[in-house]
Amino acid sequence: MPVFQSVQLIAIGLLILCSACNSSTPSKPPRQPTPLDLSTVGTISGSVHFEGPVPAQSVVQLGGWSECAAQHEGTVYAGDVMVTNGGLQNALVYIKDGLGERVFAVPEEPVENDQKGCVFLPRIMALRVDQPIRYLNSDPMAHNVHGLPHNSSHWNFSLGLKGTSRSISIEAEEVGIEVKCDIHGWMRSYLGVFDHPYFALSDQDGAFRLHNVPPGEYTIAAWHERFGTRSQKIVLPEKGEATVELTFQSDE
């Protein structure tokens, strides 16, 4: 057999072998969303409160990193305690229990988190299981992104140049996933990952609203990076509205 034909046969064999290897890699089956009867859905709304003396925000210690300090004026606060007239901002409110076996389509559009001024922006964010999250470096220096979930795989990658980015997805639900930059030890952010669309961050007044919720009995939870979790059971009637008031207290 000519040498050329032998090389061709070997190449074809390798391609077949590689194709077999790739085809054996498990992939998630496509989701079949549970139909949602929009004529019966309602709204869950309310507010997250803080009682007692409000602890001070953490101060970001930029240390000897002059490149980071130069991007800020004065003291840099972490934003880990934000209370206005008793309303607690940046509490992550979500349906913890009650949706049963309902299945929801996964958004294709990514959410974005930026490393800018040597902090993660936003500090707290939420997304869906398997939804892309794009990490971006807008600083003129290297950062890395080190995620530490308990329910899914860790990730740790470098964004070495300004303007570089990388997208990942997270395969399991979890609230309060810590994400850090190992180069700059003060850089922290936290993720909530859900298998449904019913979550929101409380605004500057502590208010939140969850739209298009099917009627039923639910446990509503609120998670805060310093104060932990509070929850409350509610009943949402057809085409109705349920109100939730969740209260945290000082960790000091």
DSSP per residue over 179-221, as a string?
Answer: EE-SSSTT-EEEEEEESSS-EEE--TTSEEEEEEEPSEEEEEE
User: In this predicted structure, what is the pLDDT of residue 28?
Assistant: 67
> pLDDT by residue (tens digit) across 223-240?
999 999 999 999 999 999
Distance (Å, whole) CA 249 – CA 121: 26
d(CA 75, CA 62): 10
Q: Which tens digit of pLDDT belongs to each residue from 82-121?
A: 999 999 999 999 999 999 999 999 999 999 999 999 999 9
SS3 label, residue 17: helix
Domain borders along the chain are 42-249
Give the range among 23-27, 68-72, 108-112, 114-118 with minimum mean pLDDT.
Answer: 23-27
Query: Residue 63 — very low, low, confident or very high, per pLDDT cuts 50/70/90?
Result: confident
Q: Does domain 42-249 have CATH number 2.60.40.420?
A: yes
Q: By the 8 A CB rule, do 155 and 202 touch? A: no
**pLDDT tops 80 at residue 22:** no
